[in-house]
Amino acid sequence: MEEIAYFQHPLIKYGSLEERSYQVSIFKACLKAPTLVVLATGLGKTAIAAMVIAERLHKYKNTRALMMAPTRPLVEQHTKFLREVLRVDSDKIISLSGLLSPSERVSMWSHAKVIVATPQVVLNDLENGYVPLESYSIVVFDEAHRAVGDYPYVPIAKRYWEDAWYPLILGLTASPGNRLEDIIEVCENLGIYNIEFRSERDPEVKKYIFKKDVEVIRVDVPREVLMARRLLLDVLKSIFKSLKSLNVLDTDDPSKISVRQLVELLDKISSEDNDPQRPKIMMLLGLSLRLYHALEILDRHGPDFAAKYLRESLFKRGGKGSALMVNDQRVLLAYNLIKNKRSPKVEKVVEILNNAINVEGIPKAIVFVEYRDVASFLEKTINENVPNARAKLFVGQGYRKGVGMSQREQLEIIEGFRRGEYNVLIATSVAEEGLDIPETDLVVFYEAIPSKVRTIQRKGRTGRHRKGKVIILVSHTDYDSTRDSIYYYVTKEAEEKIKRLIKRAIPEIKKKNREIYIEFLVKNGILEEKRPKKRPTVFDFIEEDSP
């Protein structure tokens, strides 16, 4: 067996970081320019951040380091990791919380060598004058793709470039965005001049990871569900015909009208006070959006949950729109066809987990689910129907009806999963972003998702240290294209485009952030500041001629 080589640095504890050639290569590039590191989950973005922090603190002895992450559990996780890795007194590596008093936070900002915090806390303290930002020689923005719009990352980066003596920014993400303009916006907002991207297909990465088998299982849509789907589409087409007759739409074909178009139309119509048809148009647009959502739930999450949505959002809502739906025989027939029907995906998940746990002996699995009601239902179903399964729900804080999880509860569940108290996590998107969830041998997507960022994050939960398996469940029919199958193919294509997008973005960001890059070079002593030449005067000539 090949002996493990460890990364060596005066401020890195020996034996704490494996030396991976691609990480070292990225680390060196990060020291030469403000850099965005794009790596799939599990490839070691935080390890690279630790290397860069160590080098900056070593080079600029009296400076500090700041690392930000969007959630409290991520902050705690990064703090723990940096204490394990950095050769810095552990009481000088602190996580900063908004729960602390202002005087406590001022003291921490003054005395800590490395601070890890959420951007909200940092921005608040920055505005109150608590943060000696000039003394930070490195600022790390984790989940950097969030640096858009009015997210706190944006003003913090701007202020940092203005104040810091020796500025350097490092952004970390699994994917910087879905479009070229998204990538450019993130980089422009952070002052990024370089992007370092590696995928699992790169030769220098391949040797450090295990194979990840991806299997797509097409789950047939029951005939009754297909009939209900067509009935709801027919109702949607009728609404679009009415909107077309009112000159709001150019077509009544649902396949040619997107949710985004409907939302934009709704915003536009709501501001036109002088249109006598405004109330009717807004009602029809609102109904069409709710029907689209019902179809989404039907396609991706299951007929019983779609029936529940119809009942709560269309039948019980009140008003003219609800009356129209209640009296439409097509809607009622669709509802009756699906109200007691369970998605065949549920049985498929039970079958997959039963085989994984009781036949293959897989110790841990994660099932990713979009819809929280489905996640809760799956937890109960798996525990009742899969022998030896100890499933646990893992959701975010914003769960409806106050059933969300606090950050402390989330961390306790992760630790329970690590110790083996639970062997199946039923997780919503809270488990996608960065959290140090123990590696699993099996990841199941209950439904395909249209975001390449989230697909990369989910797949990164397996195949880090041993062979892993990813199973994607896709609703399938030979007659209709369900949203599930559309999302699967869109995501597959999008994953393959990320490298091309980054390649196109780099020349643009170099052009936009050239001044910041020069400022970085000058402030860090890499480039001498060019001063304008002084124009000669008559006194210069007198001095030259004097003995």
pLDDT at residue number 530 = 54
Rounded CA separation 109/392 (Å): 38
Instruction: Retrieve residue 345's tokens.
Output: 């995906």
Instruction: Retrieve residue 105's tokens.
Output: 């936070």
Rounded CA separation 239/284 (Å): 6
Alpha helices, DSSP H only, in 301-425?
303-309, 319-326, 329-338, 344-358, 372-385, 407-419
Closest C-alpha among 128, 193, 139, 131 to residue 166: 139
Closest C-alpha among 205, 139, 142, 138 to residue 173: 142
User: Strand order of the sheet with strand 64-68?
Assistant: 93-96, 114-117, 64-68, 136-141, 169-173, 35-39, 194-198
Domains of the chain by range and CATH? 21-193+513-523 (3.40.50.300), 212-220+343-495 (3.40.50.300), 223-338 (1.20.1320.20)
Rounded CA separation 217/276 (Å): 51
* Bridge pairing between strands 194-198 and 442-445: unpaired
HEC readout, 116-155: EECHHHHHHHHHCCCCCHHHEEEEEECCHHHCCCCCCHHH
**Residue written as token pair 């350097």:** 168
Instruction: Retrieve residue 347's tokens.
Output: 């049985």
Alpha helices, DSSP H only, in 138-272?
153-163, 180-190, 203-206, 223-245, 259-270
pLDDT at residue number 495 = 56
Instruction: Retrieve residue 122's tokens.
Output: 């940092």
DSSP-based three-state secondary structure for 12? strand
**Residue written as token pair 């936009």:** 512
User: Strand order of the sheet with strand 468-476?
Assistant: 212-220, 468-476, 442-445, 365-368, 424-427, 391-394
What is the chain's pLDDT, residue by residue, as a tens digit (547 residues)? 356 789 999 999 999 999 999 999 999 999 999 999 998 877 899 999 999 999 999 999 999 999 999 988 889 889 999 999 999 999 999 999 877 888 889 999 989 999 999 999 999 999 999 999 999 999 999 999 999 999 999 999 999 999 999 999 999 998 888 789 999 999 999 999 999 998 877 888 888 876 667 788 888 888 999 999 999 999 999 999 999 999 999 998 888 888 888 888 888 888 777 778 888 899 999 889 999 999 988 887 889 889 999 888 777 666 677 777 778 899 999 999 999 888 888 999 999 999 999 999 998 999 998 888 889 999 999 999 999 999 999 887 654 444 567 778 888 888 899 899 999 999 886 544 555 566 788 889 888 765 444 444 444 444 444 567 888 888 765 444 445 444 444 455 555 678 889 999 999 999 999 999 999 999 998 876 555 555 555 445 444 444 4
DSSP-based three-state secondary structure for 50? helix
HEC readout, 184-204: HHHHHHHCCCEEEEECCCCHH
Q: Are 139 and 160 in contact (CB under 8 A)?
A: yes
- What is residue 218's DSSP assignment? E
Q: Which helix (H) or strand (E) holds 476?
A: strand 468-476
